[in-house]
Structure 1
Amino acid sequence: MTSRALGAAVGVEGGVGPSNNSSFCTESKECLEYELVCKTEEYEVRHYSPTRWVSTDAEAYFMGVGAAMAFRRLFQYITGANNQGVQMEMTAPVLVRIPEDTRVWEPAVYTLSFVLPAAYQDQPPTPTNDKLYFTEMPSMDVYIRSYGGWMLSVTSRLHAHLLTQELARVQAAYNHSYHYGVGYDSPLKLINRHNEVWYVAKGDVICSDPSEPTPPHTTTTTHAPDTPSFSPSHIAPNTTSDSRTDSPANRPTTPSQVSGVTPSTRPGQNRSANATVLQADHPWNNTVEA
């Protein structure tokens, strides 16, 4: 079992800590840590240190279906499907690597990743499923947009689009070939959910309109209670979401408000004729066979 890396090879160090260091990691004992570089009205920039993840790929027409298939494999790994029979605590967040050039009529490859607990960052047990592999997140800066509710295909695409519009406006350089859908909560959590969209920055980060002077900022960490929350190789669950992005005025009240995207909803919700499709689209639905 070998590791894969996105970007330059890096040594693994730190990067995973107690969840009480973050205001929105409330369901996991350990969470990915970061430094807040700066924040604007539309996004924030974070710096992440190198970390190791366990990952798997799934080909599907919809992000939620692919993520469900991949989630099942990864959950089996942390609950004992490894060469040591080790059971590990679930960590947060869960990352889904989403290619940018997906088309509705063609399947795409989605990569789901769990960050390994601190105790297993250096020497993780080998998966028994050969569809799993280890990936390395290098040291990197990331442009991030946060939102509440459920991380479904429609919401993920909407917020990715809104973030790229702003990054284009401020002329920020970032990797255009993929982005990450990032979830911090289990399906059982109904309120105060937190999700994110990530784009990996290139070069110097931009935290203001280039036509305006850049205000000074001080790097802070997730230890601050009011701080809101890889490029793993291939790539491989909390605070209330920002009131602006999670308000009814800033997100679709129904999936039909975003054209060209299959509507989706939380697993188990069966209130319409579309319940079957909606249930399948939920990324943490593990009813799909791997």
Structure 2
Amino acid sequence: MARITLEDLEQLGEEPAAADGDGGDSEDDQEGEARLFAHWEAVASTHRVSLPRDMAGPIAQMVRHRQAREPVPYVSLSQHGKCEEAAYEERRYPAGKWACVTMGEPMYEQSISMSFMKLMRYICKENSVGCHLGMTVPVLNEIHLTKEGTELEREVLTAYYLPGAFQQNPPVPMDPEIHITERAPLRVITRVFYGMTTEETILREISVFWELLGPTDTVLRETYIVASYENPSVPQRRNEIWFICQAE
């Protein structure tokens, strides 16, 4: 199994076969949902993913509830670099509640794929309020480097920020592997990169970012965050590497 994420599934809203009804059980709705699922089986197969049949419902939910994505709130502290290649930004994210899943599959792509499918079920309906919660961006993938710094540790934490309407009283997940966590305020230095997010590209982007920053002891060296914003069907889609600042 390889990567399939929030951004993959949001492409569904662009498909002409998407079911745009109110979720009824008409024959047209069922046929549209079947075509939609068949399309995404084909998309998943290109990622070497076997899409479970029980993802048909969440996929249809994502289409019916397509809407503006709510950004995770933050404050920009400073910006550096005059050209995009050398540009980076320091930000502070407030404390907030996140739905988190940790996986330790053989490949990074497998871990975030399996984690996000769990989160998608939670977002779409498998929660204590039984409704679609709404989407937020970015989705975060927290990674750890080995002591040698040449590989990623197997465990990856994937985190979805609860929309503002649910921050005070988060819906309880039906999946016991999903944990609602109050994450402390976070100060990060971020840099945009575009394209695929694989272990190879992540390690390369971390190395490039270190070259830009130069020697510093103000950020962690073994823990990083990969933030995902856009649909992977976009050839040069937007991602960010976050370097985590040491606690003040």
TM-score under structure 2 length normalisation: 0.65
From 43, 52, 75, the counterpart of 1:35: 75
Residue 96 of structure 2 corresponds to residue 51 of structure 1 = yes
From 190, 202, 211, the counterpart of 2:246: 202
Distance 1:182 1:143 in 2: 12
Q: Which residue of 2 aligns with 1:146?
A: 192
Q: 1:200-225 CA deviation, whole Å, 9 max, x = no partner?
A: 11267xxxxxxxxxxxxxxxxxxxxx
Distance 1:96 1:151 in 2: 11
Q: Which runs of 5+ in 2 are unaligned?
A: 1-66
Residues 159 and 197 in structure 1, CA contact (< 8 A), matched pair in contact too = yes
Pairs aligned (count): 177
Residues 61 and 105 in structure 1, CA contact (< 8 A), matched pair in contact too = no
1:94-243 mapped onto 2 (5 Å cutoff)? 94-101=139-146, 108-167=154-213, 169-188=214-233, 190-191=234-235, 193-202=237-246
Distance 1:124 1:73 in 2: 16
SS for the counterpart of 2:158 is strand
SS for the counterpart of 1:44 is strand
State the AA in 1 paired with 2:119: L
Residues 152 and 199 in structure 2, CA contact (< 8 A), matched pair in contact too = no
Distance 1:152 1:57 in 2: 17
Distance 1:140 1:88 in 2: 24
State the AA in 1 paired with 2:76: L
The structural deviation recorded for 1:105 is 8.9
Distance 2:101 2:247 in 1: 29
Q: 1:27-81 CA deviation, whole Å, 9 max, x = no partner?
A: 7431112222112223221111112110001111221111001010000001111
The structural deviation recorded for 1:97 is 0.7
Distance 2:126 2:245 in 1: 35
Q: 1:119-146 CA deviation, whole Å, 9 max, x = no partner?
A: 0011111101100001223223201111
The structural deviation recorded for 1:151 is 2.2
Residues 97 and 180 in structure 1, CA contact (< 8 A), matched pair in contact too = yes
* C-alpha distance 158-66 of structure 1, shift in aligned 2 (>3 A): same
* C-alpha distance 124-147 of structure 1, shift in aligned 2 (>3 A): same
From 132, 135, 153, the counterpart of 1:90: 135
The percentage of counterpart residues that share the same residue type is 23
RMSD: 2.5
TM-score under structure 1 length normalisation: 0.56
State the AA in 2 paired with 1:118: G
Residues 61 and 107 in structure 1, CA contact (< 8 A), matched pair in contact too = no
Higher helix proportion, which one? 2
Q: Which residue of 2 aligns with 1:20?
A: none
Distance 1:91 1:154 in 2: 26
Residues 150 and 203 in structure 2, CA contact (< 8 A), matched pair in contact too = no
Distance 1:186 1:91 in 2: 13
1:255-274 mapped onto 2 (5 Å cutoff)? none
Residue 107 of structure 2 corresponds to residue 62 of structure 1 = yes
State the AA in 1 paired with 2:206: A
